[in-house]
Amino acid sequence: MTGMRILLVGAGGVGGAFAAIAARRDFFETIVVADYDPDRAARAAAGDARFTAARVDASSATSVTELCREHRITHVMNAVDPVFDMPVFEGAFAAGADYLDMAMSLSRPHPETPYETTGVKLGDEQFAAAGAWEAAGRLALVGIGVEPGLSDVFARYAADHLFAEIDELGTRDGANLVVTDDDGNEIFAPSFSMWTTIEECLNPPVIWETERGWFTTPPFSEPEVFDFPEGIGPVECVNVEHEEVLLMPRWVDCKRATFKYGLGEELITILKVLHTLGLDRTEKVRVKGVDVSPRDVVAAVLPDPATVGPRMTGKTCAGLWVTGTGKDAQGNPTGPRSTYLYHVVDNAWTMAEYGHQCVVWQTAVNPVVALELLATGVWQGTGVLGPEAFDAVPFLDLLTAYGAPWGQREQ
C-alpha cells in the first residue's frame, strides 16, 4: 500500500505550523506544501527532505486537482481561508483524494430574517455532496482544527464516557494574549486571520435546540463571563457563528449547542465600526481605478498573524462546557454534572518549541493528529464527516503524546 501523500494547501500561519508539527512525525511519505506565494511555500517546506514546495491557486478546483495528480496525492489538507473551501474540496474529490479542513463551507444569512432564521448554513454545500463522497469511498473530514475540531472530539468523548444525557454542548474559547510593539506598548494585532474573524463574528450566530433546530441571533448576543483555566481567568464571551453548532448535533444527542468566544470589548468595538463603515464587505469596490475588496484591505494592513508570535505573551484556551446528567463507568446515571473539557497552550512554549505562535499552533496540531489516525487505520470513514463521527479516545491520547495534553474541570 502506498504511504500517505499529503497536499497542504496554504502555507500561512496555520499551514506553517502544520508543517513544523508534521515534520516530527513519521506516518506520511511526503507533504507537498502549496501556496499562492511560492516563497512562502518554500519557507514552510524547508529543512525536511519529505517536503516539497509548489504553487497553487486555491480559488481554482482545477489547480488543486492537477497538483494532486502530479504528486499522486492521497490526502488534501486545506489550510487557507474558508472562502476557498469549495474549490479545494471539489478539487480533491475530482482527483480521487481524501480531504480535511479546519472550517466548513461558508454561510449566507437569510435574506429577510437573518437574526432569527438560518439561510445557507456553514457546511451546507459540503454536506450536500456527502452522498457522492460516500459512493466514491472517499472521506472528507471537515472542521478538524481546534475549534471546530478538538471541541467536537470533546463532545464525542463527553457523550461516550461522561454523560448519560446532555443538556448543552457549549463551546467556550478565550485567551489572555497580548501583542506589543517594539517599544513594549500593547497593540491591536489579531492572532488569527482577520478575514475569518470578521466573517464569523459579524455573521448571525447559530444556536441549536431540539425544539427549534438551528436558529440565529444578532451578533455578540447573550454575553456571559466564563472563568478560563490555568491562569487565564474570567473573560466575557458572546455568541459567534461557528462550525461546532452545525456539527455536534448531527452525531451527538444534546438539547442545546452553542459557541461563545471571548472577544473582548476592544475587538467587538472594532468589528462594529468596520461593519458600520462597510469595511467588512467582501464585494469589490473601485478605488482610484483599482477594484479591491474592503475586507481584504483591512486584513492586509494588519500584522500577519504568522509574524506576531515573538511579540505575543499569554495563553489561549479552547474547550467545551458540557452540562447534563453524568454517568459512572458502568453507564449508570449519577445525577447533575457540569464539566469543562479544555486545551490550553502557552505562547512561550510554542515559540520556544516550534517557532510558531500558540493560536495557529493549537489550530494546526489537531489535523496532524487526525491524519496520523487515518494513516494508521485507527480512524476510518467515508462521506462528509465531522470529528464527532470518530472515537475520541485515540485522538486525545495521541494529542497528549504530541506534548499537548488536554484537561478536564468539574464546574
Q: Which domains does the chain have, with CATH numbers?
A: 4-145+359-410 (3.40.50.720), 150-357 (3.30.360.10)
166 burial type by CB count under 10 A (0-12 exposed, 13-18 middle, 19+ buried): buried
- Separation in Å, CA 70 to CA 7, 63, 282, 337, 385: 11, 11, 33, 52, 27
pLDDT per position as a tens digit, 37-78: 999 999 999 989 999 999 999 999 999 999 999 999 999 999
**Span 153-185, pLDDT tens digits:** 999 999 999 999 999 999 999 999 998 888 888
So what's the pLDDT on residue 2?
A: 58
259-288 pLDDT, tens digit each: 999 987 788 889 889 999 999 999 999 999
C-beta separation of 365 from 20 below 8 A: no
Q: Rounded to whole angstroms, how far apart are CA atoms 107 and 196? A: 12
Say how far apart CA 75 and CA 89 lie, in whole Å.
11
Rg (CA), the chain: 20
User: How many of the other CB atoms lie within 10 Å of CB of 85?
Assistant: 24
Separation between Cα atoms, residue 311 and residue 116, nearest integer Å:
41
CB-CB contact of 153 with 379 (8 Å) = no
pLDDT for residue 191 is more than 80: no
CB-based burial, 272-288: b 16+ in 10 Å, e otherwise: eebeeeeebbeeeeeee
pLDDT the model gives residue 201: 84
CB atoms inside a 10 Å sphere around CB 28: 18
pTM, two decimals, is 0.92
